[in-house]
């Protein structure tokens, strides 16, 4: 049990260090969204980047294409689809 607690303690210290290095207020109350995000100095930019990432990577057409590519790899198919 001591190893688990030490591991958790170590991970919490990493999060706190990361927050300190980036001038973010850590919040371990598990609010949604976390207060450390709401208090982030560049919150608007953070939101902008998050939206861009979602649009570029998780649009239904993009996800469908990724699944098609994955299935083709698994089945050993190559080339274009008809």
Domain limits, the chain: 1-40, 42-82
d(C-alpha 57, C-alpha 60), whole Å: 9
**What are the pLDDT digits (tens) for 39-63?**
667 778 888 888 898 888 888 888 8
More confident residue, 19 or 78: 19
Whether the pLDDT of residue 18 is over 70: the answer is yes
Choose the weakest-confidence range: 4-8, 29-33, 56-60.
29-33
Closest by CA to 64, choosing from 76, 52, 72, 75, is: 72
């Amino acid at each position: 049990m001591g190893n688990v607690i030490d591991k958790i303690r170590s991970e919490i210290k990493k999060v706190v260090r990361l927050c300190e290095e980036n001038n973010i207020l850590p919040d371990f109350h598990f609010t949604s969204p976390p207060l450390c995000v709401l208090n982030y100095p560049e919150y608007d930019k953070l939101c902008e980047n998050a939206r861009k990432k979602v649009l570029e990577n998780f649009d239904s057409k993009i996800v469908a294409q990724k699944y098609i590519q994955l299935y083709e790899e698994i089945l050993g198919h190559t080339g274009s689809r008809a």
